[in-house]
Structure 1
């Protein structure tokens, strides 16, 4: 969509080549920024270092355990073939888990980001604006094995054994390099795993609740006047969190009438109300005020809800 079309449709305008407009499942346009290739590469390097450190730690712990076992039974480390075989099995399992479960565990969490991604300020998200599913995370990480880890393991094992030909070594190197550089050749900085899984990596903006909202809702309405017009139960307010509050404020401040209608209908469907007609802004201002008050009360007691998918912390 061109800048002119975006402006006519009332959508936000992109300001840089990595800025995108994503339509949420509720039909609300959201500004996001795609993570740069440098941020993604830095996050991957940090994750690999962390994984290697975990593997080394597990290996050393296993060696010390075998050494302690041998000392207790009067055996040297070299003669403890049985325990060493068991240690090797656990070591292989640990490598597999650290290489795969590490990414799955963190990207399936509420923050959708590994330790490396958190340091560089990026996270995984679904390109359609919906919730990041387990299927998508599993798919993108399985492809990472094909892209990176399996070729690297093949190259390293061949170099150690000395059985790899120059052609095979160069083919493996080109394979890895091709996938590593792939994000540089598409505008959304996607790797092959993202293309298959329908995901992308975006910059993670985490403002505090106090910065998400202004002291009052937009000037077009009066929050204090409209708040009493609608009364919402705690259960009806519990379906959304801070992220939805931020989105709702954006709609109230700059959304078109069409966007107001869409969001009002979406909220009514979510809380089991029949959508009205003609007072969408008043309804949204009232819901905004009530939702913000509930979230702020929760924060005073140390309870936060990041979005509609997460539980109260």
Structure 2
């Protein structure tokens, strides 16, 4: 469930535990800049790969006119051409999927501009959502380019093809300006937002103003009880403890106790949550030192 303030870019997502998580929508300019950076990087990678394969072909004495001939050199040249085609396909199609399916949910362009993708609902970002939004990007951006290129190659009416492609792009490019959340068609279909990314490191982000000392903790949790949650839930718990709202404390304490199968005395919600917070944080930080990161409760 999301609460929206039409006067600003601030949005609030309500988790199943009843915790309000504030988000800030990315600006249209930041999104456009991120896309241009990614396209520039994709283009640079394509050019670098092309020149590398040309250099390899030249280094082993292969020539383009041998591609239709028979023999070892022709087969080697054909293999390099196949490698080039595969590389161009991956740069073109897998760039956004690879990075947006990562733990940061952001391509290099998005990371430079300080934004990331996020699910609009209460659940985590899914693989299906990332695939859906990137399939729609093909329709929005790349298919018009292919359409115009095909018309030029075929020698047909390039003016008509150019206008058709321009109108095609304009319809989709202007779509974010006609909704208050700056959603492109891919976001609408996939159920995603593009939001400003938090720039804090784990150790800086996870701190309660007055934590309970280890010796004063009334509850001790086994590693398997702590393993059900990750960094995302830890940050959510931090917000609850910082706000100190009674209703939220009760709801989150009940949700955690049901999840791990532990009970606590009435009135001990905050002590229960602070103890769980400190021990979960310690376990996650230990995992980071060992090179194991658990982003959220869904991560293995």
Where on the TM-score scale, by shorter chain, does this alignment land: which range?
0.7 to 0.9
Q: How far, CA to CA, are the matches of 1:206 and 1:239 in structure 2? A: 25
Q: What TM-score comes out, normalization by structure 1 length?
A: 0.82
1:173 corresponds, among 166, 170, 173, to 166
Q: CA deviation at 1:238?
A: 2.5
- Deviation string 1:43-86 (CA, Å, 9 cap, x unpaired) is 111111111111112222222233234x2xxx643334345555
Q: CA deviation at 1:132?
A: 0.9
Q: CA deviation at 1:24?
A: 2.4
Question: Which ranges of structure 2 fall in alignment gaps of 5 or more residues?
Answer: 69-73
CA contact (8 A) 2:129 2:192 kept: yes
1:20 corresponds, among 11, 29, 44, to 11
CA contact (8 A) 2:15 2:122 kept: yes
Asked if 1:282 corresponds to 2:271, the answer is: yes
Counting only pairs closer than 5 Å after superposition, residues 223-238 of structure 1 correspond to structure 2 as 223-224=212-213, 227-238=216-227
CA contact (8 A) 2:175 2:185 kept: yes
- Deviation string 1:245-295 (CA, Å, 9 cap, x unpaired) is 222121122253322222112212322324764432221122123223334
Question: Which ranges of structure 1 fall in alignment gaps of 5 or more residues?
Answer: 7-12, 218-222
Task: Report the counterpart of residue 146 of structure 1 in structure 2.
Answer: 139
Q: CA RMSD in A?
A: 2.9
Asked if 1:164 corresponds to 2:193, the answer is: no
1:97 corresponds, among 86, 90, 97, to 90
Aligned residues: 293
- Deviation string 1:146-172 (CA, Å, 9 cap, x unpaired) is 111111122134335542342332121
Q: Classify the secondary structure of the residue corresponding to 1:78.
A: helix
CA contact (8 A) 1:122 1:202 kept: yes
Task: Report the counterpart of residue 254 of structure 2 in structure 1.
Answer: 265
Q: What TM-score comes out, normalization by structure 2 length?
A: 0.85
Q: Classify the secondary structure of the residue corresponding to 1:308.
A: coil
Q: How far, CA to CA, are the matches of 2:218 and 2:141 in structure 1? A: 58
Q: Classify the secondary structure of the residue corresponding to 2:26.
A: coil
Task: Report the counterpart of residue 193 of structure 1 in structure 2.
Answer: 186
Task: Report the counterpart of residue 41 of structure 2 in structure 1.
Answer: 50
CA contact (8 A) 2:148 2:158 kept: no
Q: How far, CA to CA, are the matches of 1:126 and 1:224 in structure 2? A: 36
Task: Report the counterpart of residue 71 of structure 2 in structure 1.
Answer: none
Q: How far, CA to CA, are the matches of 1:97 and 1:178 in structure 2? A: 27
Task: Report the counterpart of residue 125 of structure 2 in structure 1.
Answer: 132
- Deviation string 1:9-32 (CA, Å, 9 cap, x unpaired) is xxxx96961111012243311011
Q: 1:29 to 1:97 in 2, by over 3 A?
A: same
Q: 1:296 to 1:65 in 2, by over 3 A?
A: closer
Q: How far, CA to CA, are the matches of 1:76 and 1:252 in structure 2? A: 68
